[in-house]
Amino acid sequence: MTTPDPEEKPLPQFRKDLQLYRGPDEEDGTPTFNVYDPVKVQYYKISWAESIILQHLQLGMTLSQLIEEVERRSTLKVTKEEVVDFFMQAQGLNLLAGARPSEMVEKEAELTKIHPIKWFLTHYLFFRIPLLKPDPFLEKTLPWVMPLVSKPAMMLYTLLSFIGIVMTFNRFEEYVGTFPYFFNLNGVIVYAIALTGVKVIHELAHAYTAKYYKTYVASMGVAFLVLWPVLYTDVTDSWKLASRRQRLWITGAGVLSEFIIAGLCTLGWALSEPGLWHSLFFVLSSASWLATLAININPAMRFDGYYLLSDLWGIDNLQPRSFAVTRWKLRKWLFGLELPPPEEGLSEQRVRGMVIYSFYTWIYRLILYTTIAIFVYYTFTKALGIFLFVLEIGLLIVWPILSEFQTLYRMRGSFRRNVNIVFTFLVALIFLGWFVIPLPRTKWFSALTVPIVEQVLYVPLNSQVENIFVERGVKVKRNQPLIQLYSEYLSNQIRQFEAEQKVLDQQIHYLSLQKLERGQLPGKQKELEGLEEQLRTLQAQAVDLTIRAELDGVLYLWDQNLQEGQYLRKDLVLGKIADISQAEILCYVPEHLIGEIFVGQKATMMLTNSNEKIAGVVREIDPTRDELLTYSQLASEYGGDLAVSVEDQGRFYLLKSYYPVKISINEQKEPLQYGLLGDVKVTTRPRSKLVTLFRWMLSLIWRESGL
């Protein structure tokens, strides 16, 4: 018994509800076609050869009969493998007619099931919710909208926008300087309303343009980009258009509408006086410029810029095709794999553009999603921010790398020894060693020279200057008076208490002479003791108003603007005294590096704007972090490296955790000046970067979990 030839079996038929449309020509002039699946509401691009096969397929045809019919009725030469591959792809997309075995249907249903967590991981970056079916409304109102986009209207928009941009350019600083006035909750609300209005016009521009070219607008609604709502219009039916120029107009209509709004409102801002309309024009113009330039025309995200670039290049499904070409190129560059390209007929220039686009998209998305995660971390819940960061690193870096490794493992039979793979292996080995092997590292910390022992001169009470006995730079001796202060309030309090003391003394003397009233003596004597204690405290404060030197040294810091009779607030720093022959280095070490510093460690200070080096040894590590920065030279407010916020009474509060570390200076020929700025270089203990990263992540999770 002979086995029938499989090629003589009748070929399956395509579904009757499928629709075939002519698509834009390829770069070389080859026509393309689109197959529309009304069940999935999706278009599939097919080649000219595949369209010929589809058009000449008849019921009951075998494989050989179909090939013969195609070659008889056209100039196309197709192979059996090409036809079989076309039918297999169609079967995978469920485009073929006929009943399928229940086992196959169940298997496909199982494959389409997605765990809720996995669904969230793959869809939280972008998903959309349709709200309206606007096609009938667009059909009725299109004649009313057409005059707004006529050639005379567009020329007028262009002229007015140009005038507005020129006028605003001359006041650019004033325009940019308006932004800070909206950095508040009300400003955010105003911008949100403005952006919503602009986006409504943006989406209507897409919809009306699509309607003008006789395509169906299926829906309008809200899309969520990393859980952030944005409007969208479904113009999928533009795939029916054979003209790329028409598709470009549909895609670019939204951006063009925003440019028109931005230009006209810019002119309105330049012509209006400060007030309601002036602010309204600013918000609309700035919102339109920012939304268009930063988001809509950026091809890295699937907004208008992406589809514009796709149509300009003539590459449908630009991202997946570019990513596939880039993976193919990377395999060739890194491993020397001579594999067939994912597409035939791509020029070197086109391949180069697709590779550059892929790298730009990867880098942009990584920066964007990381920025969003950091924003969530600092604005909302830190746990959610950490989760989003880890999620995006996993989705954008770890997942693609693991997937590529799996693919390379399956292709291991294609690997051959070559220069590319040896070089890649060596670079990977060096990087792995650099990341894993514990190596000593050089760290730099902001520092300055300070006295070992010093006295900071504070104002003890709100008072005024009575006498000044010194000036800056003089040598002083221990217990030498420096300045005499006077507090009228304190003096009045002392006089009042002294008067009350005299009254109590007289009362006690009188009671001691009266036998009948001697029982009141203990109470009066106790009252006198309390009064005398308060008086001694006030008199001690009065003595403290004479500020004296507590050590021998030089008054190296002193307020030269002090004058007799001047009023001073409590805790005001008047100056500092120190022994100029004894100095040390004070540096500030961030919290995550303090564990790598130890007493006895060698350190070198490089002075700012100088080649001079000062060698020393770590003498002391403060176990508690500093919240208040006492040396303003290091503050960011004065050009220093330590970020601070200036709060009550002009004090500098450190925004990050820093620990003071004191470094004793090796012998110097001449005494060092105080206040010399520089950076301290320290070679830390060897530690693997992998261990450092692991400890940092562990401490972050521990800290933010509240344990």
> Band of the pLDDT at 1, cuts 50, 70, 90?
very low
User: Which residues in 430-464 are b (16+ Cβ under 10 Å) and which e?
Assistant: eeeeeeeeeeeeebebbbbbbbeebbebebbbbbe
Per residue in 513-565, pLDDT tens?
776 676 777 888 888 888 888 888 888 888 888 999 988 888 878 888 888 88
Measured CA angle at 384 (ends 381, 390), to 5 deg? 140
Instruction: Answer whether residue 221 shows pLDDT above 90.
Output: no
Specify the pLDDT at position 47: 79
User: For position 159, what pLDDT does the model report?
Assistant: 94
Which pLDDT score is estimated for 384?
Answer: 67
Which of 76-85, 377-386, 397-406, 548-557 bottoms out in mean pLDDT, i.e. has the lowest? Answer: 377-386
Query: Quick check: 683 pLDDT over 60?
Result: yes
pTM above 0.85, yes or no: no
Question: Which strands form 481-486's sheet, in the order they lie side by side?
Answer: 546-548, 481-486, 463-468, 567-568
| 388 — pLDDT class (breaks 50, 70, 90) | low
What is the enclosing helix (H) or strand (E) of 578? Answer: strand 573-578
Q: What is the per-residue pLDDT for 639? A: 81
The predicted-structure confidence for 231-251, as pLDDT tens digits, reads as follows 788 888 888 887 888 888 998
pLDDT-based confidence at residue 143 (cuts at 50, 70, 90): very high
Confidence of residue 586 (pLDDT cuts 50, 70, 90): very high
**Would you state the pLDDT for residue 358?**
92
State percent of the chain over pLDDT 90: 15
Answer whether residue 40 shows pLDDT above 80: no
**Fold topology of 6-112:** Outer Surface Protein A; domain 3 (3.90.930)
Task: Answer yes or no: is pLDDT of 666 > 60.
Answer: yes
pLDDT of residue 364: 86
Given the candidates 3.10.20.30, 1.10.1760.20, 1.10.510.10, 2.40.30.170, the CATH classification of the domain at 444-451+580-704 is 2.40.30.170
* pLDDT value at 14 more than 60: yes
**Stretch 660-664: mean pLDDT, rounded?**
92
Indicate if the pLDDT at residue 142 is higher than 60.
Answer: yes
Structure confidence at residue 3 (pLDDT): 43
Q: b/e string for 610-624 if b means 16 or more Cβ within 10 A?
A: eeeebebebbeeeee
Q: Are the CB atoms for 592 and 554 separated by under 8 Å?
A: no
| pLDDT at residue 525, rounded to an integer | 84
- Candidates 236, 219, 209, 315; CA nearest to 37 is 236
Mean pLDDT of the residues in the chain = 82
Q: Is the pLDDT of residue 122 over 90?
A: no
Confidence bin at 196 (pLDDT 50/70/90): confident
Cα–Cα distance, 596 to 684 (Å, whole number): 6
Write the pLDDT tens digit of every residue in 611-638: 888 899 999 999 888 888 888 888 888 8
Is pLDDT of 218 > 90? no
**CA–CA distance, 236 with 307 (Å, rounded to integer):** 12
Give the residue extent of every domain in the chain.
Answer: 6-112, 118-314, 315-416, 444-451+580-704, 454-568
**Residue 282: band (very low, low, confident or very high) from pLDDT cuts 50, 70, 90:** confident
Dmax over CA atoms of the chain, in Å, equals: 149
What pLDDT score was predicted for residue 594?
Answer: 86
More confident residue, 183 or 586: 586
Predicted pLDDT at 4: 44
| Residue 254 confidence (pLDDT) | 87
Q: Check whether 24 has a pLDDT greater than 70.
A: yes
Q: Residue 441 has what pLDDT?
A: 81
Structure tokens at 376: 């969530």
356 has a pLDDT exceeding 90: yes
Following DSSP, what letter does each residue of 293-334 receive, concatenated? IIIIT-TTSTTHHHHHHHHHHT-SSHHHHHHHHHHHHHHHHH
pLDDT digits (tens, 9 = 90+) for 96-118: 886 555 554 455 455 455 555 55
Is 455 in contact with 578 (CB distance < 8 Å)? yes
User: CA angle at residue 406 from 115 to 83, to 5 degrees?
Assistant: 85
Average pLDDT over residues 149-169: 91
pLDDT at position 145 over 70: yes
pLDDT at residue number 126: 62
